[in-house]
Amino acid sequence: MKGVLENQKLIVKAALTGMIPMKEDTPNVPITPKEIAEDAYRVYKHGASVVHVHARDENGFPTHKAVVFREIFERIKEKCPDIIICATTSGRVDPQVEHRAEVLSLKPEMASLTVGSLNFPKYASVNPPETIRKLAEIMKKNGILPELEIFEPGFINYALYLRRKGILKDPLHFNMLLGSLGSVPADIRDLTYLVDSLPPGSVWSATGIGRYQTRINVGSIIMGGHVRVGVEDSIYYDYPNKRFATNEELVKRMVRIAKDVGRDIASPDEAREIIGLPALRG
């Protein structure tokens, strides 16, 4: 199987907020910049080296405004100065590329790039080729590492096309998301197929949506990949009994499982080295 590095330390990414969960869905989703930064600090203390960040407006709805992201980033860096911030450029709610690119002006170390279109249960994530290309070019210009979001195998093909065109460069960084209604199913066979489709030298992580989060996370740990956990992807810690999760609990569970199967946890600086990001200065 390609991509298996059994002795590599595990990068734990925390997807704190997302676009969908509201306080009415779970009281534990962080919404305000203050809440997001506090959750970032909690997961950082327990081993998360990357936080995947969405922003919400004063009414709790998703926003792409750079001014809101700036406050979130500054608050996070006050509490966790060496943590890696991965900003969203998702078009699920607002597909306009100019809005989605606002956060890139802040030059986070990483940003998500969904390299295809798909249907979620309530919304479509529409990513035309020109939008993908433009976002990738802006990231390249600003020295931002794209985290390539993969929801089905064709997305990998398109990422490799962008690499051939020189828009993306090695090493490529992939995040596989399995188990949503419009994505590849959350079966270990499907995760294995996706991993085997990646080019040599790729860095990859995986998560399952909803009830499948832990299953795919554990599979990724065992296969030598990295993990993304968080309330964005699953609001429940115990899905059958519908017990709400906190981001802190989800990170702690993955760290415990990883250590039980022999994977040490990467610090932010170690994660930078694994991913291929420049070391922090000073």
Assess if residue 124 is contained within a domain: yes
* 207 closest CA partner among 265, 163, 251, 263: 251
pLDDT at residue 163 tops 70: yes
- From residue 73, alpha-carbon distances to 49, 87, 103, 135, 281 in Å are 15, 9, 10, 20, 18
In a domain, 261, yes or no: yes
Report yes or no on 137 lying in a domain. yes
Answer yes or no: is 109 within a domain. yes
- How sure is the predictor about 138, in pLDDT bands with cuts at 50, 70 and 90? very high
Q: Is residue 7 part of a domain?
A: no
- pLDDT, average across residues 209-221: 97
Provide the domain limits for residue 157: 12-275
Contacts of residue 23, defined as CB under 8 A and 6 or more positions apart, other chains included, come to 29, 31, 60
pLDDT of 222 reads 96
pLDDT of residue 123: 81
Residue type, 196: D
Is the pLDDT assigned to residue 3 strictly greater than 50? Answer: no
Checking if the pLDDT of 104 tops 80, the result is: yes
- Taking a C-beta distance cutoff of 8 angstroms, is the pair 225, 216 a contact? no
Confidence of residue 157 (pLDDT cuts 50, 70, 90): very high
Which amino acid is it at 237?
Y
> Taking residues 178-204, what's their average pLDDT?
96
Rounded to 10 deg, the angle between the 247-260 and 213-223 helix axes is 40
Question: Which one, of 77, 112, 51, lies nearest residue 271 by Cα?
Answer: 51
Q: How far apart are CA 225 and CA 228, in angstroms?
A: 10
* Total-model pTM: 0.96
Domain assignment of residue 262, yes or no: yes
- Per-residue buried b or exposed e for 222-246, using 16+ beta carbons within 10 Å of the residue's own CB: bbbbbbbbbbbbbbbbeeeeeeebb
Which CATH number fits the domain that encloses residue 110?
3.20.20.70
Interval 150-177 mean pLDDT:
97
**What is the average pLDDT score of the chain?**
96
Whether the per-residue pLDDT at 4 is higher than 80: the answer is no
Residue 224 has pLDDT above 70, yes or no: yes
Q: Given this model, what pLDDT does residue 10 score? A: 98
C-alpha to C-alpha distance for 46 and 35, rounded to whole angstroms = 17
Q: Is the pLDDT of residue 254 over 60?
A: yes
**H or E stretch covering 145:** strand 145-150
Q: Is residue 146 part of a domain?
A: yes
Name the amino acid, one letter, at 132: I
Specify the number of domains making up the chain.
Answer: 1
Q: Could you report the per-residue pLDDT of 34-49, keeping only the tens digit for each?
A: 999 999 999 999 999 9
Q: What is the pLDDT of residue 92?
A: 84
Average pLDDT over residues 91-96: 86
- Is residue 3, in this structure, part of any structural domain at all? no
Q: Which tokens belong to 202? A: 């790729």
CA–CA separation, 221 vs 184, rounded Å?
19
Give the Cα separation of 228 and 210 in Å (integer): 13
Percent of the chain scoring above 70 in pLDDT: 98
Q: What is the mean pLDDT of residues 146-151?
A: 98
Residues in Cβ contact with 39 at an 8 Å cutoff, skipping those fewer than 6 apart: 14, 16, 30, 246, 247, 248
- The proportion of the chain whose per-residue pLDDT surpasses 90, expressed as a percent, equals 92
pLDDT value of position 282: 60
Three-state DSSP at 222 gives helix
How much is the average pLDDT of 110-135? 94
